[in-house]
Structure 1
Amino acid sequence: MGWGAWGKVARRTVLGGAAALAVGMALPAMAQTKLKVAGIYTVPIEQQWVSRIHLALKAAESRGEVEYVWAESVANTDYERVMRQYAEGGQQLIVGEVFGVERAARAVAKDYPKTAFLMGSSFPAQAPNFSVFDNFIQEPAYLTGMIAGAMTKSNVIGMVGGYPIPEVNRLMNAFMEGAKEINPKVKFMVSFIGSWFDPPKAKEAAFAMIDRGADVMYAERFGVSDAAKERKVLAIGNVINTQPQYPDTVVASALWHMEPSIDRAIAQVKAGSFKAEDYGPYSMMKVGGSSLAPLGTFEGKVPADVMGKVKQREQDLRDGKVTVKVNDGEPKSTM
């Protein structure tokens, strides 16, 4: 996710439930069974990043732990109003992403100190009730880079992102480092489309890179894998596993799992112990916050020696023996 304008998608809002008192940060453990949780999303819930939050909250709902309502495709200019509406309505935990509305969102949190907020953000947590998270999935991104470096025949990899912000940059940089470890000759083309949800624009950017020799595409945005499929080149997925939709195109994906973060926040609110903290570490592989997707249809097609290195690195990451450097700087083309 990140800064900038969002795609023009009709806004659908789900508001629900009778009003209930907001949970207090210093209150004792709650007596009620189900926690009232709201999600506020600036893009459709189908979008990669948001879909992972939504999936984790739906899982908690299916277990009977929460009553979950949400609003999607909320414009930045409307985000503060929706936050206040949910807080006034008695939602005890509000989850979302505030990259384009940091100042307004943090002001809302100050006005509702007894409501818990867990928000995607590039900035620190804000006491007492504004916790932050981010997609720190640079570890599996590095692993997918190792695979991409082995699969390219032209030694040219194309990379299409939304905006050059830390959430995107760190994954691209990790991917590039992984590819260079396996294939020092590899070159990269990098571009950003200035949108979080514009598949046609991402597709056109990918076509341009494929025309210039890229035979592996890093699909940070929807639309890139479509271009790769049409031109019969390979793609690497991001955040979600799209291989079922692109069985002959998507080799591997770095997956984000929001369950550790969401489950922790729910437990903290229910226990009356929620506080402002950074949930970033709960996206790491060793706690189940991210993973490398199974190769599926590409099982056996990646060189065995490379997969041996990938599996060893993956195990070392899970065991905490090695780390992947976090580089939030804007990645640059090397062609």
Structure 2
Amino acid sequence: MPDFPKNLKFFTPTRRSLLKTAGAGAVLAATAGLPTRLFAQEPLKVAAVYTVPFEQQWVSRIHIAANAAKDRGDIEYTATENVSNTDYERVMREYCEAGNKLILGEVFGVEQAARDVARDYPEVAFLMGSSFKEDAAVPNFAPFDNYIQDASYLTGLIAGAMTQSKNIGMVGGFPIPEVNRLMHAFMAGVRETAGDDAKFQVAFIGSWFDPPKAKETAFAQIDAGADILYAERFGVSDAAQERGVLAIGNVIDTQADYPETVVASALWHFEPTLDRAIEQVKAGSFTAEDYGVYSFMKEGGCSIAPLGTFEDKVPDEIKALVAEREAAIKDGSFTVEINDEEPKSS
């Protein structure tokens, strides 16, 4: 803090006095060595529309990042959870009418309706989870996705080293690119350490949030010989825990809940994606671009969770390999393939 002269007097200006002496204020600031920006920029009004509960893995990461931006004063944030696809457009429009300048959400089931809303509110920025790319015809609509294939590949290296049966169960929500690319990256890692003869059981439950169904599907895979499960959905790790097999987490770290079950997890960090959007909206330069790239490991958008309770159970040579590949991914000398095709059981 600078040392101010003892005889310098401070006062609280009224709105009228500020309006009358706006020009003089800048001069006084300059002569006193104070910054010319006397007042912080107003927080950006941001709203989010989610089709699932806040605690669902994918949405929880967006919600955490938005609340972090709110806590540091960058945004005002409000959100609605469990919005049905049939009601999604209405809620989007209500948030636009309420003066929000940035709308977040996931529009995998309402793609066309969401882009129609964006066309009707050109002064509002839309940052939406989507399987489709940006469209110059809708310049205020930018898609994102959790491209965390880098971290998924690393967990595959670990899973391949931990399986004894070389039979891996994989339970996902829907076979869309956002899920497919993570599964393929995981499978590539498994094959690298377990061998090309590793077997995969792949199933999709047709829901983003149905833990009981995911659990039953996982039970069937365990009964068919799987000794490690890829838990793309909630419910899978519960099945693994009950049957005494291992699991690999996705998007969030659940090892604290399953300390003897969840070996490793691929974590998604939405902060780089959201911070980029906030910056662009405040600068008046937000436009249609693919925000998916901000989920890459080199951008800080994903990471592998600490091994925690499995630190001494994963072979040292595998930990060394993971560290080597992680460094190579970050410096660009190793690239994890992005494969959006639907994975099949082998």
Relative to the length of structure 2, the TM-score reads 0.87
Residue in 2 that maps onto 1:86: 95
In the alignment, is residue 52 of structure 1 matched against residue 61 of structure 2? Answer: yes
* TM-superposition CA deviations, 1:153-185 (whole Å, max 9, x none): 111110001111111100001100100011113
* TM-superposition CA deviations, 1:16-63 (whole Å, max 9, x none): xxxxxxxxxxxxxx9842000001000001000000100100000010
**Higher RCO (Cα < 8 Å, 6 or more apart):** 1
What is the CA distance between 1:120 and its match in structure 2? 0.5
* TM-superposition CA deviations, 1:214-269 (whole Å, max 9, x none): 11000000000000000010000000000011110000000000000001111111
Aligned residues, how many? 305
What is the CA distance between 1:101 and its match in structure 2? 0.4
Structure 1, unaligned stretches of length 5 or more?
1-29
1:60-209 map, 5 Å? 60-126=69-135, 127-184=138-195, 185-209=197-221
Residue in 2 that maps onto 1:311: 323
Residue in 2 that maps onto 1:239: 251
**Superposition CA RMSD, Å:** 1.1
What is the CA distance between 1:148 and its match in structure 2? 0.3
Residue in 2 that maps onto 1:329: 341
Q: Distance in 2 between matches of 1:85 and 1:117?
A: 14
Look up the SS of the partner of 2:127 in the other structure.
Answer: strand
Q: Distance in 2 between matches of 1:192 and 1:258?
A: 25
Q: Distance in 2 between matches of 1:328 and 1:274?
A: 27
Structure 2, unaligned stretches of length 5 or more?
1-38
Look up the SS of the partner of 1:39 in the other structure.
Answer: strand
Residue in 2 that maps onto 1:291: 303
Look up the SS of the partner of 2:280 in the other structure.
Answer: helix
Match of 1:214 among 210, 214, 226: 226
Q: Distance in 1 between matches of 2:164 and 2:87?
A: 47
Query: Runs of 4+ in structure 1 displaced over 3 angstroms?
Result: none
What is the CA distance between 1:128 and its match in structure 2? 1.5
Look up the SS of the partner of 1:235 in the other structure.
Answer: strand
| Equivalent position amino acid for 2:171 in 1 | V
Q: Distance in 1 between matches of 2:42 and 2:335?
A: 39
Q: Distance in 1 between matches of 2:48 and 2:333?
A: 36
Q: Distance in 2 between matches of 1:217 and 1:31?
A: 49
Q: Distance in 2 between matches of 1:38 and 1:214?
A: 42
Of structures 1 and 2, the larger Rg is shown by 2
* TM-superposition CA deviations, 1:62-101 (whole Å, max 9, x none): 1011110001100000000011000011000000011100
Look up the SS of the partner of 1:305 in the other structure.
Answer: helix
| Equivalent position amino acid for 2:296 in 1 | M
Look up the SS of the partner of 2:229 in the other structure.
Answer: strand
Look up the SS of the partner of 1:118 in the other structure.
Answer: strand
| Equivalent position amino acid for 2:327 in 1 | Q
